[in-house]
Amino acid sequence: MLGSLYTMMPVTFSGKASNPWNACIDSNNSSPQNLSIFVFSPAFASVGCYKFQLCLYTQGTLGGCVFGSFTVLCNPWCSADAVFIPYEDEREEYVLSDSGLLFMGTPMNPVSRPWSFDLYEPGILEACLDLLQVSPQHQMSKSKDYLKRNNPVYISRVVSAMINCEDDRGVLKGNWSEDFKEGVHPSKWTGSGDILRQWAKFGYNPVKYGQCWVFAAVMCTVMRVLGIPCRVVTNFNSAHDTNANLVIEEHYSETGQKLNYSKDSIWNFHVWVECWMTRKDLGSDMNGWQVLDPTPQQRSKGVFCCGPAPVKAIKYQCVDLPYDIPFVYAEVNADVHTIIWSQDHVVSFNIDTERVGSIICTKAVGFPRLQNITGDYKPIKSLSSTLSSRSSTVSDDSTLRRATSSKGVTVLLTLDKSPVPGEPIRFSVKVMNRQRVAKKMIVHLNAQAKEYNHSPSDTFWETHGVMQLAPMEVKVLQQQILPAQYNNVVGDNLINLAVVLEDTATHERVLAAEEFNIASPELIIKVADKDSIVLNKEHTATVTFINPFSHPVCGLLAVAGAGLISGKTQFRMQSLRPGGKVEQRITFTPSMSGVKMLHASLSLLNTNITVRGFKMVSVNSI
């Protein structure tokens, strides 16, 4: 029985029955007083918690009792199920894995953040089923909701709406302000378990606070728990196109300061999920990965949810199919119009057709690294526009470049390497005079701090000068920003660096800009006897941190690992001098076999900086 719905199953000895639901007596029963009965559910059974009632006919009298319950989930191992995924390694990754990596930062320097999905932790299955029970769809019509729960398209839309709390008793409340005093800063979360348990424990009131990666990671947990293959996806340079014209405008002053003139914006990254399912409503061409986005951005049929949108439909511009394909298409395909203003007049205009959706990625199957899936969403225009599928960071000898040309001058802005804390940000400006006349150029360089989803704040570094160019001459300016000048930008913040050149004779202007992050330092985790980790035995690990900053730091270290540590283990780190090293020994006793993630986070006090690290641990059953 599922609510008021029920089905009758005759118990047979053969297991063969005309009813899609059937039951049979175990032929190996050794005692007639102790019967084992197998119950077989059809592939189209609705997801939920069923009551099991046994009816007995004895001497012409019907009697019965409810003596148990069982939970039906989607089954990606069953070829008849709508979520069947044919490869075992993908089922291991997208259904069974209880940890993963979320990618953030910028397209040329993605930063991986460990996340614990906590699928098997106490209370998580119950919380995921509760999410369906408290949804508006269930409250309006329990029977109708139960009947529709045999369709992963329906389930995924319900879950997408229930992860946020804009229309219902959803799990998370979003907050993109600077004030998180009434809850937890989104960057402090390290797993889904604490969020889902807190939501269920306190009467299904929303947990404070989430941003896009938290919404997506929690939805990934719920979908995997319900048996639907799911993965977290990051779209770098994600367009937020408020007027649906597939154009994002960016505005700069004549001195290179980025201006907040437009409601449209480009988020340095945006995170959603993909779920694997058939689309019987659209035809087999649209089967496979579907985009779902629980971050509340716009309404879909009156509700803050997004998807499922077939990835194939996005690639081939089938924007008239359900659900929300035009919105997702714009996030990965909008054009960028860059405008320079001087005294309320437009003095330069440029169009970039490749910047938005420059890299779309997820965690690789079976490995802790980035997998580039941009080609699933759109044709790749150039090899240089994306990272290779095996790369997760820019190597030390790589450069970050942004070039722009005018009729007479080309300017190339180049970061020498990915910036790291405690070292100067070194970059060069290469200017090429492409005409056979000398030029005098005014040079403006400007750096602003910004968050991934906001326009930049005030300028924190700038310099101005004059450059003389002979005909056809190429000149390179070397510049650096010192650690003391960017100290407040380390952490999850980013930097918008721009150069504007003005030809003093023609007043023609050309701009090059790059947004980048300063990589946070990492925690190093070493596991003793890592090749002989076994169940139910105590093992040790060491977490190491070296202070790269020019000032002392102190903080709170938290270590966790689903299947390795029950809950979280916390330690206080006392003041550590610049260049100082601290080691913390921890113990853990594995409760589950398989590959598990041991992860740690160090929240530095009086800053917005959280230092993270992780180690994959292979636990043997014996």
> How do residues 122-157 score in pLDDT, each as one tens digit?
999 999 999 999 999 999 999 999 999 999 999 999
The answer on 470 and 344 residing in a single domain is no
Show Cβ contacts of residue 18 under 8 Å, excluding neighbours closer than 6 positions.
Answer: none
Residue 345 CA: distances (Å) to CA of 23, 122, 189, 252, 404? 78, 61, 45, 11, 20
Alpha-carbon gap, residue 246 to 264, rounded angstroms: 10
Query: Measured on CA atoms in the order 291, 293, 298, 299, is the torsion positive or negative?
Result: positive
Whichever domain contains 454, its CATH number is: 2.60.40.10
Instruction: Indicate which residues carry an active-site annotation.
Output: 212, 270, 293
The answer on 283 and 138 residing in a single domain is yes
* Structure confidence at residue 392 (pLDDT): 29
* 150 in any annotated domain: yes
* Structure confidence at residue 574 (pLDDT): 94
* 47 in any annotated domain: yes
Closest CA to 511 of 345, 348, 344: 348
Number of domains in the chain: 4
* 378 in any annotated domain: no
The answer on 190 and 254 residing in a single domain is yes
Pairing between β-strand 265-277 and β-strand 247-253 as defined by DSSP bridges: unpaired
The answer on 234 and 143 residing in a single domain is yes
DSSP letters, 351-402, are: EESSSTT-EEEEEPTTSSSEEE-HHHHS----GGGS--TT--S--TT--EEE
* 200 in any annotated domain: yes
Whichever domain contains 184, its CATH number is: 3.90.260.10
| Cis bond upstream, residue 308 (ω within 30) | yes
* 373 in any annotated domain: no
Q: How many CB atoms lie within 10 A of CB 608?
A: 15
The answer on 213 and 155 residing in a single domain is yes
The answer on 563 and 504 residing in a single domain is no
Which ranges of the chain have pLDDT less than 50? 383-400
The answer on 234 and 112 residing in a single domain is yes
Final residue in a domain of this structure, among 481, 500, 517: 517
The answer on 245 and 121 residing in a single domain is yes
Residue pair 491/609 in contact by the 8 Å Cβ criterion: yes
* 386 in any annotated domain: no
Token readout for 182 is 């009434």
* 317 in any annotated domain: yes
* Structure confidence at residue 405 (pLDDT): 59
* Structure confidence at residue 403 (pLDDT): 54
Which residues form the domain of 255? 88-352
Closest CA to 40 of 25, 54, 28: 25
* Structure confidence at residue 347 (pLDDT): 92
* Structure confidence at residue 398 (pLDDT): 35
Final residue in a domain of this structure, among 501, 517, 533: 517
Final residue in a domain of this structure, among 352, 371, 405: 352
| Rounded-to-10 torsion of CA 377, 383, 386, 388 | 100
Token readout for 102 is 């979320």
Output the pTM of the full model: 0.93
Q: Which amino acid appears at position 252 of this protein?
A: Y
The answer on 541 and 510 residing in a single domain is no
The answer on 179 and 216 residing in a single domain is yes
Instruction: Give, as one character, the DSSP assignment of residue 284.
Output: G
The answer on 48 and 140 residing in a single domain is no
The answer on 544 and 416 residing in a single domain is no
* 366 in any annotated domain: no
